[in-house]
Structure 1
Amino acid sequence: MSLFGCCSTGVTLPGRAGLPGSLRSLLSVRMLTGAVFGAAVEVAAIITALALYPSGMGEERHTAEAGSRPEVPSDGTVPFPAVSAGSPVLLVHGLFSNRAIFPVLRRGLRQAGFSRVTALNYSWLSNDIRSAARLLADEVERMCEVSGHERVHVIGHSLGGVIARYYVQRMGGDARVHTLVTLGAPHHGTLAAMVPLPHQAIRQLRPGSDVLVELAGPAPGCGTRFVAFHSDLDELVVPTANARLVHPDLQVSNVPVRAIGHVSLPLHRRVVREVCRVLLGARVAEPLAAA
């Protein structure tokens, strides 16, 4: 059984009703087996995330980036590095999480050639989506200043994807973000957020919230490319299709993922490989910021 389904290109797969009974039974068994295996992997991912959580407390260290700013050639011209090799990548975690959720994703990105990978830690206890987006805006500016690049890539898991989208779509962040990849982000809300908890960020993830209504509004000229990964086994985005991003003004590719749970998405090696492939495909040359 394949991990990734067809991207949203308008292609319709034949329904199972027209298949022979034996083939339908085989497909059903495979789907059930995949779901059971995916659930087991999700449990392991949750245990791993809990174990890693203490290591992600506190702020990211940025000393490794010092001196990484490219030099301007002596002839005064400004180099144009390939996005695949040079663009910084910023990771944004989700609810009940921190930057410790990203070790597999960090390693995969660095192996793919992205040498500048950092993660934003925000307090999901004290910040709502809008205030967290302001923190994200500050971090993006810092990354651009340190690296010398005018644009970055952002990868947001769960709530982090909605925060990043708010920054890009409502705060002019499309001028700084080349590609925004979201992993299990409830772009259209989730019924799981209907739990009676007095937390603003959770309330903002409810379908029809003021933030989601704002994001559904017009976004003419938004220059960021969006890639939304959504899984059929996502237990926290209900219904799971709400992790797809549908907006008439945005450049969107929706990538369906099979039998991978919500917490597993940034930890699953095959998902990480696909994310790297998506970013490596962003081969649009970008100018460096002025020295």
Structure 2
Amino acid sequence: MPACPGPVLGAVRELAWLVGHLVLYPTGLFTPDPARGPAREAPVGAGRTTTPVVLVHGLADNRSIFAVLRRALHRQGFTDIHPFDHNPLGGDIRSKAELLDHHIARVCARTGAPYVHVVGHSLGGLVARYHAQRIDRGAHVRTVVTLGTPHRGTLAAHLLRAHPLVRELCPDSAVVAELALPAPDCTTRFLAYWGDLDPFVIPLASGAIDHPDLDAANIRVSGAGHLTLPACRSIVLDLCTLLTDRHRADHREAPDAAATPLAA
């Protein structure tokens, strides 16, 4: 099971990553998506895969939240990494999920891949889940990974309930109710990571997916806050291994093949 540092060190790292993320934030506004350019070769020795990965940021955020994860995935051979940019403060979850559907269709058309993996942080995880569960149902989304996502809403959203998008994160929202509806035809695999130092997901257990029809696994990460989840080394290592193994299983490669160890 992935684990970040203990509570005290975890809180320090959350603060440090907050400062680091504020520094990186402008790069997410102006840096072009490298996936739109020519495909790059995987680093020598990396486990080569061709499954595209789509990254979905959260509320008031941008692609810079995935800086550490993107670098790690590329080292593992995931050269098709496509951030999904959406209005960080506007729109609603349903419309964002529809835009994500168009984005994934373009990624599949450009790469020739039949499906993608999607990783979402915070609100982005809710958008990714809504899309996979209510729109795609496994047609093009093989795996959805959520990081610090309030799947059953968060009480913290009541503090800014006047904002329409934040209101959808409340436990009593229509979106949360819709995600609780039956989904017997959804074949996407879900994996939800949630940290025990996350002040934005209240109660903490809301970070887990609890749905009888979904193929879902939940991982509680000790010592992890909201912003450190996408940068926690153990989670990044876990995701690199998971997505590489999923690709190999889909293409019926040797079952004993192991992901190349990731450097720190």
What is the TM-score with the length of structure 1 in the denominator? 0.79
Aligned to 1:25: none
- Asked whether 1:266 is paired with 2:220, we answer no
User: Which aligned runs of 4 or more in structure 1 are off by greater than 3 angstroms?
Assistant: 2-5, 62-68
Task: Provide the C-alpha distance between the structure 2 equivalents of 1:144 and 1:132, rounded to a whole number of angstroms.
Answer: 18
Task: Provide the C-alpha distance between the structure 2 equivalents of 1:98 and 1:195, rounded to a whole number of angstroms.
Answer: 22
| Counterpart residue identity of residue 89, structure 2 | L
Using a 3 Å threshold, how does the CA distance of structure 1 residues 145 and 61 change in structure 2: closer, same or farther?
same
| Counterpart residue identity of residue 232, structure 1 | D
Residue 285 (structure 1) aligned to one of 242, 250, 260: 250
Using a 3 Å threshold, how does the CA distance of structure 1 residues 67 and 110 change in structure 2: closer, same or farther?
closer
Using a 3 Å threshold, how does the CA distance of structure 1 residues 127 and 60 change in structure 2: closer, same or farther?
farther
Task: Provide the C-alpha distance between the structure 2 equivalents of 1:196 and 1:252, rounded to a whole number of angstroms.
Answer: 30
Task: Provide the C-alpha distance between the structure 2 equivalents of 1:172 and 1:64, rounded to a whole number of angstroms.
Answer: 23
Cα distance per residue 1:163-199 (max 9 Å; x no partner) = 0011111112521100100011100111110113422
Structure 2 portions without partners, runs of 5+: 41-46, 252-264
Aligned to 2:168: 204
Using a 3 Å threshold, how does the CA distance of structure 1 residues 59 and 247 change in structure 2: closer, same or farther?
farther
Aligned to 1:74: none
Alpha-carbon contact 1:60-1:121 (below 8 Å) kept: no
Residue 43 (structure 1) aligned to one of 11, 15, 24: 15
Aligned to 1:168: 132
Identity of aligned residues (%): 43
Aligned to 2:91: 127
Task: Provide the C-alpha distance between the structure 2 equivalents of 1:98 and 1:229, rounded to a whole number of angstroms.
Answer: 19
Aligned to 1:235: 199
Report the count of equivalent residues.
Answer: 245
Cα distance per residue 1:112-151 (max 9 Å; x no partner) = 1111112111112222111111111111011100100110
Matches within 5 A, 1:14-33: none
Using a 3 Å threshold, how does the CA distance of structure 1 residues 193 and 116 change in structure 2: closer, same or farther?
same
Q: Give the superposition deviation at 1:3.
A: 4.4
Helix, strand or coil for the counterpart of 2:190? strand
| Counterpart residue identity of residue 249, structure 2 | V
What is the TM-score with the length of structure 2 in the denominator? 0.87
Aligned to 2:6: 34
Alpha-carbon contact 2:123-2:150 (below 8 Å) kept: yes
Task: Provide the C-alpha distance between the structure 1 equivalents of 2:136 and 2:114, rounded to a whole number of angstroms.
Answer: 14
- Asked whether 1:190 is paired with 2:154, we answer yes
Aligned to 1:250: 214
Cα distance per residue 1:207-257 (max 9 Å; x no partner) = 021000000000012110001001111111011110000100000011111
Could you say which structure has the larger radius of gyration?
Answer: 1
Task: Provide the C-alpha distance between the structure 1 equivalents of 2:127 and 2:31, rounded to a whole number of angstroms.
Answer: 18
Q: Give the superposition deviation at 1:62.
A: 5.0
Structure 1 portions without partners, runs of 5+: 6-32, 69-82, 287-291
Alpha-carbon contact 2:35-2:81 (below 8 Å) kept: no
Using a 3 Å threshold, how does the CA distance of structure 1 residues 3 and 250 change in structure 2: closer, same or farther?
closer
Task: Provide the C-alpha distance between the structure 2 equivalents of 1:252 and 1:84, rounded to a whole number of angstroms.
Answer: 26
Aligned-residue CA RMSD (Å): 2.2
